[in-house]
Amino acid sequence: MTAKELLQSLVDNAGSQLEQCFNGVTEDQADLKLHEDSMSFRVTAAHLAECCVAVLEHVEGREHQWGTFKPKSAALAPLIEEWRELRAKAVAATVSDDDKLIKLATDYIVGHDYYHVGQLVTLRLSFDKAWNSYSIYGS
C-alpha cells in the first residue's frame, strides 16, 4: 500500500465516521452541548467546513485567517452539505504522492476529523440513548 492509498483510506474512514455522527441529528438537536464551552453539532459542522477552507488556502500557498469563514446557511442540513462539498475539494487537493500535501491532509483532515468524531459521539450519546455508537464503524 502506498502512502497515497493509506491516506485515501483514512480520509474515507474519518469522513464516514463523521457522517454517522451527524446522521439523524435534527435541527432541534443541532445546538445541544455537553457544557457551555463545548461545541454543538452546528458549530462543529461550521468548524469542519472552515478547516477545509484552510486546507484549500494552504494548498494555494496562503495562510488562513481563522474565524473568517461564513457558511452559506446556518441551518444544519445545508451546513453539513457545505462541509461535504468543501471536504471533497480539500481531499481532492491533498490526496496525492506529495509529502507536503500528505502531511496537510493528515493534520487538517484525518487527525482533526477523528478528534471531532470522539466529541460528536459523546455529545450524541448524551441525548440519544438509542443511538448505536458502533454505527460509526460501518460494516
- Please give the average pLDDT of every successive group of 10 residues along the chain, which has 139 residues: 94 97 96 95 98 97 94 97 98 96 95 96 95 87
| Predicted local distance difference test score (pLDDT) of residue 53 | 98
In angstroms, the Cα distances linking 121 to 71, 77, 104, 135, 136 are 23, 18, 25, 10, 9
| Predicted local distance difference test score (pLDDT) of residue 139 | 58
Q: Which phi and psi angles does 91 have, rounded to 5°?
A: -65, -45
What does pTM read for this prediction? 0.94
